[in-house]
Structure 1
């Protein structure tokens, strides 16, 4: 049975295919019963579903069979995010996690444990729902890496019941082989940029869940890639020690040199597991990371992430989740922020009730035209070059040559980007065409913004260039990973030269770009 077929069987609430794959009888029946219970109720009556799952007899009590490793009954247990975990206590303390249902009763995780020769639990495979609603799979001892051996594979797959999409079952990345029943540290991933967006997030959260179940706190990252991108990814499921800015600087010190030296060094920064609880809503391609019964930490619409921010102005740019007071009470808005103000609203949520409603910009980007009609329009050369130089200056030295070559070779256009300020892929660089009208509206209406045109121009450059820099660095890293490992000293020297040249060019170009933007030039619409 392939991963795709196994996921389809689990979603179908069928115990027999799960038992055929070696899942213990009691566990297979419990998973199937939990999925059936979740499917039997409309997602609206939350209290009804909680009672149904909470009162369901454990597999042992109902005579379904004895699961391995159990010192007390296997049971569905409530999670802080309103969902349910199928787990059993183990003799050395903590819990052994088998499956998870979200608050609407949908399966979001399935783990298969076998027994080692010493009688200890050993992970055979784990599958968890990723933010884009595909499944992320961890396959112990099935990886093939030049960096470490033995290796565990990371793959992703869409079940047959999902909408069409990529369905890779081959390993897309690896990490050093782990004892998942006794995790001691956060492991590295060799090719994070090769993973579909969100898959790495799901795997890190699985590790945080297992560490939390095993009462491991604190833990440290052990590997050669203490990059800023990894720090941000870890913060979704772990809490670093100390103030965030200090922790980031401490974690990323000498990141580039260490990465290309391949040193498996344990970083001194302690982390505490703080896993989120996921909820999935396939009809809306929605994935919610809950920090408690009514606090959303991050919302995903497909591959677009919307992270929580404070409602004070100016707000940080990008996909955001913020609280608003409405006549109906407090609500959470999901949308884009640019120039310090909400820019697009895609969804409104009532976290206390666990309900979501589509907002006015939900369908944006599907028509493939700009706000005033027509297709994509190229960015003016001055704005495009300034964005390229900014991205080169802001990335790590090792990525600078790849980012410079990438940005210079790809077309850059104003386009109807759905649910993001920018989109960067091998086909080109797209910038949200609505930024032009948004800038002009704020500049023309002092009641909406106290900032003058010059200040707004600086904010636009900062917001737009920062978004492009992140996307270009991600794609540049993927290209670099696909090439033979370069000589470290030469790569870093070339990167610093590239950044110095970009810094000089940006210093000459940026004042002219800001002046033109303040006049409403260089913008679409």
Structure 2
């Protein structure tokens, strides 16, 4: 960080999990809906003076010498993985050092993605049962609780806060499933293990594949992941994809839901081998790991009652929807930003029309998944 004599920030660079850097250019422009904005840059190495690399996006200008809020970010989708949380962690660290907080977010985008990102560097207040809904209403405050960030090797990043909470290894991000009172979907999961933690793949609340083990201090203990996955793929029934999309849309913010459905389009959905992950997403093809299907079939064999089988089918549908949800929401947000305001659908009509249709598509998808699992 570079500070002027008057305590004004001249510039800062923060390292992100892939080893590259984000630069913060304070008060770069006033050409934004909220006025003065700081600019984010992306580069392989930090600049000594001036700015280089790729300009990414803008966020509300902060008084970095006295942090007083969580700023709104213009285009989150333009940030590289781990970029937003790295900047938020810097904000939390400075606010803690300045004894400021708790901080509020008053921006126009109180999304689930931002909520989960804030959990990595802040503790929310008050302690409520539905923290996400409270955040969306604008009724949560955030007390700074920055994480310790360790770059263990070229392809291993570890984030700690009393315990290991996040690991990035070979571009795959593993999370704890529990953050304060929030339980997040964590298919790439950190779990307790003797002497430290284990990182691997989970689905239907059971471990499917272990990848690596770390000591409690974040040091690498062992790599146990298979190098590659191979084998044939097989298509899922065509009725499953509409149910997946309907599930993602039903869980999205109302203004975004119609765009989730429009960008999803016709997509090929298949079971097949996926190396060190549960999903591979292409432009018009999505492959779900065969390990998910195998776990589904095993659970069905122990669930003879129809109600239990339907519940399992719905759980698998939600699992797939959670795996593709971030990608579909990202595409939808990009489409929403591209549209002229006059082109936007009426939210009330879309919600009324979508509710019945989505329920029908979800029901049909569950039936198709159950039939596919018994083939």
Using structure 2 for the length normalisation, give the TM-score: 0.86
Give structure 1 stretches of 5+ with no counterpart: 1-110, 161-167, 254-266
Structure 2 equivalent of residue 338 of structure 1: 203
In terms of mean alpha carbon deviation, does 200-209 or 507-516 score higher? 507-516
Aligned to 2:3: 113
Closer/same/farther in 2, CA of residues 141 and 415 from structure 1, 3 Å limit: farther
The structure with the largest alpha-carbon Rg is 1
Listed one character per residue, the Cα deviations across residues 364-388 of structure 1 (whole Å, up to 9, x for unaligned) are 45xxx3xxx23x5443202222112
- The offset of 1:484, in angstroms, is 3.8
The 2-side partners of 1:145 and 1:215 are apart by 31
Deviations 1:329-351 (A, max 9, x none): 43311011101100111111121
1:159-184 per-position Cα deviation (integer Å, ceiling 9, x unaligned):
49xxxxxxx92321111221111111
Q: Does the 8 A contact of 1:333 with 1:348 survive in 2?
A: yes
Among 143, 164, 171, which residue is 1:296 paired with? 164
Does the C-alpha gap of structure 1 residues 210 and 415 become closer, same or farther in structure 2, counting only changes over 3 Å?
A: farther
Q: Does 1:137 align with 2:23?
A: yes
1:432 matched to 2:319: no
The 2-side partners of 1:496 and 1:207 are apart by 37
Q: Distance in 1 between matches of 2:185 and 2:82?
A: 21
How many angstroms does 1:217 deviate by?
A: 2.0
Q: Deviations over 1:233-285 (max 9, x none)?
A: 111111111235333221112xxxxxxxxxxxxx44221001101111333x1
Q: Is the 8 A contact 1:147 1:190 kept in 2?
A: no
Q: Partners in 2 of 1:514 and 1:361 — Cα distance?
A: 29
CA distance in 1, matches of 2:132, 2:247: 21
Task: Please give the residue correspondences for 1:338-487 in structure 2 after superposition, counting only pairs within 5 Å.
Answer: 338-352=203-217, 354-365=218-229, 369=230, 373-374=231-232, 376-424=233-281, 426=283, 428-443=285-300, 454-481=310-337, 483-487=338-342
Match of 1:7 in 2: none
Instruction: Give the Cα separation in 2 of the matches to 1:465 and 1:186.
Output: 30
Aligned CA distance change for structure 1 residues 179 and 204 (closer, same or farther; 3 Å): same
**How many angstroms does 1:301 deviate by?**
2.2
Distance 1:246 1:452 in 2: 27
User: What is the CA–CA distance in structure 2 between the aligned matches of 1:409 and 1:360, rounded to whole Å?
Assistant: 37
Q: In the alignment, which residue of structure 2 is the partner of 1:221?
A: 105
Aligned partner (choices 175, 188, 199) of residue 319 of structure 1: 188
Assess, with a 3 A threshold, how the Cα gap between structure 1 residues 172 and 499 changes in structure 2: closer, same or farther. Answer: farther
Change over 3 Å in CA distance of 1:507–1:430 after alignment to 2: closer
Stretches of structure 2 that go unaligned for 5 or more consecutive residues are: 47-51
Aligned residue-pair number: 363
Q: CA deviation at 1:434?
A: 2.4
* Comparing 400-409 and 177-186, the one that deviates more: 400-409
Deviations 1:106-157 (A, max 9, x none): xxxxx11123xxxx21112111111233212211123574423321111222
Q: Secondary structure at the match of 1:466?
A: helix
Q: SS in structure 1 opposite 2:196? A: strand
Q: Distance in 2 between matches of 1:209 and 1:357?
A: 29
Contact 1:410 1:428 in 2 (8 A): yes
**Corresponding position: 1:202 with 2:92:** no
The SS at the match of 1:186 is coil
Cα distance change on mapping 1:146 and 1:337 into 2, 3 Å: same
- 2:242/2:362 contact within 8 Å kept: no
Q: Please say if residues 237 and 275 of structure 1, whose CA atoms lie closer than 8 Å, have aligned partners that are also in contact.
A: yes
**Aligned counterparts of 1:426 and 1:245: Cα–Cα separation in 2:** 38
Return the alpha-carbon distance in structure 1 between the equivalents of residues 184 and 226 of structure 2: 21
Q: Whole-Å Cα distance in 1 between the matches of residues 170 and 25 of structure 2?
A: 24
Distance 2:38 2:184 in 1: 40
SS at match of 1:346: strand
Partner residue in 1 for 2:49: none
- 8 Å Cα contact 2:152-2:219 kept in structure 1: no
Q: How does 1:499-510 map to 2 (within 5 A)?
A: 499-506=354-361, 508-510=363-365
Residue 230 of structure 1 deviates from its aligned partner by: 1.2
Q: Is the 8 A contact 1:123 1:181 kept in 2?
A: yes
Matched residue SS, 2:74 = coil
- TM-score, normalised with respect to structure 1: 0.63
Displacement of 1:203 in angstroms is 0.9
Question: Does 1:520 find its partner at 2:368?
Answer: no
Q: What is aligned with 1:306?
A: 174
8 Å Cα contact 2:43-2:54 kept in structure 1: no
